[in-house]
Structure 1
């Protein structure tokens, strides 16, 4: 059985070298297999020697096919184990972060308990009986606490005590989940390895197929599993995948940026041509329909309302679909305009599906090469952001941020800055969209952001190495980013900076190293007051008042549009953001 003392040392990166060895072994075996297949046994060769040669080649083919099947199973098992270890890391980090924040103690056996030091830090150590109750009760309940304390405790202390007990239970749940997941991973990995040792493989394929690897992009796999699959393929196999499955590869987290860019640009071009053809067809149908159904004059319309107030008037059958297609085309044009320079990469191209959280186009454009840059930063925007309305200007902001960050970094270090519109950002409440008043959109966007960031990290594990990675988030985007970084694997993101923030999750619960969480707050930015204005702020507390965030210098000389000036040329805020991107804020 795996213990708490064991899992505290588990790191998913510890399997990187094993996977690197296995993926290289598969590529070497594939090259050997190709040599066997291409070995020349002439059709006109006859006799016993020819028969022996043919038998030997068949034996070599069989052995190579079996070897590739074994290597493939090892890659599958090891990448699945790495994904599971990442989950264990997340649970461990959650438990330890809560313990550090509240002053809890976690024993070597994994039991979470309160401490006098923690109670004193919270100002709760002076309440009669509270210390003995919390320190000696394994699972304290609010009802028991109220019985003990009666009505003499003021509401603030009672709220703090209730929060503390809930946090302790959550920390214990995280410890238990870490141990349970670790044992599941350990058992599954051992069983998979034992099968390979016994010579039991999942499938033996012909050398002319894709032996030891999935024939198509894996569905439902983690970004670690995707990266292992992709990097186990030979260059020729990758080229075939890109040609045959480009629609799946473009948004698949764990694939390198160059491949995603090539796949998404091809999709964008094909979809654009298809949309133009559909629009032309519908516009012609719409023109004929309107000719057959002339619009009534205002007087005719008024008389019709008087005579038939609820009467049925024939609706244009093409108007809604035509409007939707035109919106798609506008989104595509905005993306295309953002890709005009040679140093851009289209990392996400995901047209709207109509599902909740994906009712608008999603896209991400990098300025710089995410596969080779020394520093990779992702910008998460906030309210009113759409691809049509903001992508082009966001890419311009990223060009400016890249330039300034490279100057700060010096030594010829390079930066890739990503304009990420990977979620449905809330629109203006003035237009009836009240989603900015809650964190539903942030939770949905945060999940997508976490997958995207992990995919960047995992794709680089097989490339030139792990870059310095940061996330910058503005306005409601800071709420979204904090939700994502709460669930991301530890070690994936090195720095986070939020600016113009209406609120975030608590800093201690964000999986970014201590001392590397930053906040900027312009002097006259009204949005930053939201997190501190209400007893229970809907989007989280003001990160500027969170001790786990370090406040950096921002602007105080833009009196009119303070919420939108953080990336302005020659601004103090831009300098601070550039230092975060370059890894020099601390």
Structure 2
């Protein structure tokens, strides 16, 4: 089959129809179950009524579970097709930009005349070959994704027909069977379909029984994840404090440099939890609710994401991605999640003004990846590449929650410094329609060689660049590693780079973080994109 013709719209509509129908049938089944429970006695008439009700209930239970399963399978198809479409669209856009040809077998080529034209216009052979290779990689990825998706859906449909498919909901109107967690590797769309099929009582049971899983499970709504993560927060605090105390007890009077470094890391984990608590506590003073969207202490450093306002029902969602020397814990110069909550407040308030009356803006501080702590680590894109996968998964999760909840939201990724490279790479990994707008500012590199590599609508990629002499981080990464400088690339819309006056004492990076300063034109322009009304 020609995968260029694959569309997710019908599957998406079918999944929604299944979810709506199962809810109606479930209500009917629950009502019949209550009637069955109310029948008392063992007379012939009562027994006949019980038998008739039981027969109806069994039929409803079977149909409800079939609809739940069908919605889950269709939702996997939606996410898979969206990812395939994103790669196809990228390949086609690259082919159009570079005048390449993609034949019916998926082979990408460029004729000699076009190569000569590009060479004459200043493009190197290496650059031309890289463009062809990138387009070919996108095509190959789409073909492999299509093969894998078709195989997975075929297996699940066969299991559904055979009655062996486990939807992890296990609906019963008479016998209370609790749901089970989806298996590892379940897509965000499948999780969202599963979660939306649970009763409110079952959701609360899952949150109380598995807060550590639910709090970080992409596809679960953020009201529920916030509740789960707040259950886990004091537990994680005790764990990291105990971990640090135990290690400190093993140290002698003259610890080695490695031991001191490990002690610092463990203390930073404690400080990270404190910074999360302090950030959440700000809602008591400014009356803006905070949502702990993720909390992960499994790695060397604590990772988290916090939103101002609820992403479940916001019209606009802005995701701030920080860069070098930032972490949940922060350091002596700032860079913590608490500091970025201040940046998010400035950006959110400005975005709300841009969006207009009645429009709700949720602003997310994404600290869900390990940013490089110093220039040494930031000199390579390795941490950006790892972080890109985490960010892409997070963004796919937001999209899935909204598709199975309040409906589509306008999602903007606003990424600073090294975080802009991370975000650029993530924008090549998300599904179609996940990121509506991408803004990169103070960027060492876009993460790509051509805007056609982004899974972002054409014309929806923006850059803000302060005066170079005061932000020499811009474009500093080698193009081959970090991607090209977005301020110099075709396809970007240029926002203001006015970040305010420079300090009296000159530093070549003294305005690098000024994009977050309140009232500057650059800040207002970035916020205008988040608010859905770009000032360009």
Q: What's the counterpart of residue 424 of structure 2?
A: 482
1:548 aligns to 2:491 (yes or no)? yes
Q: What's the counterpart of residue 403 of structure 1?
A: 349
Distance 1:217 1:192 in 2: 14
Q: Which moved more, 1:218-227 or 1:166-175?
A: 166-175
Aligned to 2:415, what secondary structure does the other structure show?
Answer: strand
TM-score by length of 2: 0.86
Q: Are the counterparts in 2 of residues 110 and 175 from structure 1 also a CA contact under 8 Å?
A: yes
Q: What's the counterpart of residue 229 of structure 1?
A: 194
Cα drift, residue 407 of structure 1: 0.8
Aligned to 1:122, what secondary structure does the other structure show?
Answer: helix
Distance 2:76 2:230 in 1: 31
Q: What's the counterpart of residue 568 of structure 1?
A: 517
Q: What's the counterpart of residue 139 of structure 1?
A: none
TM-score by length of 1: 0.79
Deviations 1:302-346 (A, max 9, x none): xxxxxxxxxxx8999x98886555332211110111112142111
Q: What's the counterpart of residue 337 of structure 1?
A: 278
Of 210, 222, 228, the match for 1:263:
228
Q: Are the counterparts in 1 of residues 222 and 311 from structure 2 also a CA contact under 8 Å?
A: yes
1:370 aligns to 2:311 (yes or no)? yes
Q: What's the counterpart of residue 460 of structure 2?
A: 516
Distance 2:4 2:352 in 1: 37
Structure 2 gaps of 5+ residues are: 331-335, 504-509
Q: Are the counterparts in 2 of residues 338 and 391 from structure 1 also a CA contact under 8 Å?
A: yes
Aligned residues: 514
1:393 aligns to 2:339 (yes or no)? yes
Q: What's the counterpart of residue 6 of structure 2?
A: 10
Distance 2:184 2:112 in 1: 50
Q: CA separation of 1:121/1:529 partners in 2, compared to 1, >3 Å: closer, same or farther? A: farther
Q: What's the counterpart of residue 300 of structure 1?
A: none
Q: Are the counterparts in 2 of residues 381 and 474 from structure 1 also a CA contact under 8 Å?
A: yes
Cα drift, residue 216 of structure 1: 1.9
Structure-to-structure mapping, 1:71-150, within 5 angstroms: 71-107=67-103, 110-115=106-111, 118-119=114-115, 122-124=118-120
In terms of Rg, which structure is larger? 1
Aligned to 2:207, what secondary structure does the other structure show?
Answer: helix
Distance 1:553 1:81 in 2: 41
Deviations 1:149-189 (A, max 9, x none): xxxxxxx76xx334434533442443344345435544654
Of 384, 403, 420, the match for 1:442:
384
Cα drift, residue 220 of structure 1: 1.5
Cα drift, residue 75 of structure 1: 2.3
Q: What's the counterpart of residue 482 of structure 2?
A: 539
Structure-to-structure mapping, 1:299-314, within 5 angstroms: none
Aligned to 2:497, what secondary structure does the other structure show?
Answer: coil
Deviations 1:225-278 (A, max 9, x none): 111111111222212111211111111111111111111111112322455566
Q: CA separation of 1:50/1:327 partners in 2, compared to 1, >3 Å: closer, same or farther? A: same
1:244 aligns to 2:244 (yes or no)? no
Q: What's the counterpart of residue 202 of structure 1?
A: 165
Aligned to 1:498, what secondary structure does the other structure show?
Answer: strand
